[in-house]
Amino acid sequence: MTSLNDLPLRDNLRGLTPYGAPQLHVPVALNVNENTHGIPAAVADDIAAALAVAIRTVNRYPDREFTELRDSLARYLGHGLTRNNIWAANGSNEVLQQVLQAFGGPGRSVLGFAPTYSMYSLLASGTGTRWIAGGRDADFELSPATAVEWVDRVAPDLVFLCSPNNPTGTPLSLETIEAVYNATDGIVVVDEAYAEFGPDGSPSAMSLLPGRERLLVSRTMSKAFAFAGARVGYLAADPAVTDALRLVRLPYHLSALTQAAAVAALAHSPEMLAMVDDIRGQRDRLVSELARLGYTPLRSSSNFVLFGGVEDPRATFEALLALGILVRDIGISGHLRVTAGTEAETTAFLEALEGLGRQ
């Protein structure tokens, strides 16, 4: 049988492992920061009705400019944004890939601050962009001074800032984002995939967009909108940025069905986001209960919690899995990450962990 090593693979892909969060069928899946609440039945009915209409014209290519969807997203985001500021693709992973296709590539580099979202380095490899992993401060925070020191040291073409950061859950201050923007002539992406889970009134990098044409703020419908399976991510930026992305996107990259489903869901934003409060409550419960059990959870503005004080993360991961509970071992020594589930799922996780005793 042929193996990967027998193929004339690009040199920079040799030895890499693909994104591989386990997809196991378990009763309690708390490993990929999904929204474990289903979408409300009435909204699902409306989305199904929109899909039933859209399917009748799939003999034609979809609106290449996904105009209605961009209008809906601009309305949802506010901040004075219009459709000209908005771009979307099949998940924010694809948005970020397109950003690297347009602004990265061979001879260019992208700086991120580890530990951070594991796809950044893979998207960099896929687009031939050099990935540079900068460091963080204590408790995985990122101060303006530390971030700027890294930008000055490595002079990247792009900087990826993740706020709140995956896998740590920690938010970034607007001061750090502004300082990074001022320190570089390159593109600065703020990945706000989990923005809706922050405390009420949390500042968004969207508020920094006016006058900053190299600032891109990406979001996703996968998390707060419980739309992970539909694959809809988006970004807000200067209209010139969306023109750059038009150069690299595949024609008709957003299917008519995706567009119809997303527009219908966005028309019900308040209902779609109703479970965000509940999830924030379960997240806060995880933080306080994990501390009570003797672990050291990090502060979190997202729908997951990274906790330290785990003597043998692999053993705890396996012991929980044996009980039907899937969490994430992201390879940070002494730590595991868990997604806030429904109340029942969160209870199942906490009781199982307590039952195992500190490992």
CA angle 135, 20, 284 (to 5 degrees): 60
Partnered with residue 236 across adjacent β-strands are 86, 217
Per CB under 6 A, does 33 bind ligand PMP?
yes
In this chain, which of 222, 258, 300, 316 binds ligand PMP, going by CB under 6 A? Answer: 222
Place of tokens 């694809």: 94
State which residue has the least CB distance to ligand PMP: 91
Amino acid at 162: C
In this chain, which of 204, 220, 242, 301 binds ligand PMP, going by CB under 6 A? Answer: 220
Site string for ligand PMP, 279-318 (x = CB under 6 A): ----------------------------------------
> Is 110 within 8 Å of 162 (Cβ atoms)?
no
Nearer to ligand PMP, 92 or 289 (CB): 92
- Quick check: helix, strand or coil at residue 260? helix
Per CB under 6 A, does 100 bind ligand PMP?
no
Q: What's the rounded Cα separation, in Å, for the pair 22 and 19?
A: 9
Nearer to ligand PMP, 62 or 164 (CB): 164
Tokens read off for 92: 């924010």
Per CB under 6 A, does 91 bind ligand PMP?
yes
Under rule CB under 6 A, how many of the chain's residues touch ligand PMP?
Answer: 13
Q: What's the rounded Cα separation, in Å, for the pair 260 and 48?
A: 9
| Nearest distance, CB of residue 292 and ligand PMP, angstroms | 27
Per CB under 6 A, does 166 bind ligand PMP?
yes
| Nearest distance, CB of residue 192 and ligand PMP, angstroms | 8
Place of tokens 């193929």: 7
Nearer to ligand PMP, 193 or 352 (CB): 193
| Binding range to ligand PMP, per CB under 6 A, among 89-97, 203-211, 288-296, 336-344 | 89-97
Q: What's the rounded Cα separation, in Å, for the pair 261 and 269?
A: 13
Alpha helices, DSSP H, located in the chain: 41-54, 67-77, 92-103, 119-126, 144-154, 174-183, 239-246, 256-266, 269-272, 274-292, 313-322, 343-356
Tokens read off for 119: 């796809």
| Nearest distance, CB of residue 233 and ligand PMP, angstroms | 4
Per CB under 6 A, does 339 bind ligand PMP?
no
| Binding range to ligand PMP, per CB under 6 A, among 198-206, 220-228, 314-322, 350-358 | 220-228
In this chain, which of 29, 162, 187, 338 binds ligand PMP, going by CB under 6 A? Answer: 162
| Nearest distance, CB of residue 163 and ligand PMP, angstroms | 9
Per CB under 6 A, does 346 bind ligand PMP?
no
Angle at which helix 92-103 crosses helix 119-126, to 10 degrees, equals 40
Per CB under 6 A, does 93 bind ligand PMP?
yes
Q: What's the rounded Cα separation, in Å, for the pair 170 and 198?
A: 10
Nearer to ligand PMP, 259 or 289 (CB): 259
Per CB under 6 A, does 204 bind ligand PMP?
no
Place of tokens 């209870």: 347
| Nearest distance, CB of residue 95 and ligand PMP, angstroms | 8
Q: What's the rounded Cα separation, in Å, for the pair 89 and 287?
A: 33
> Is 205 within 8 Å of 215 (Cβ atoms)?
yes
Residues at the contact surface with ligand PMP, assessed by CB under 6 A: 33, 91-93, 117, 162, 166, 191, 193, 220, 222, 228, 233
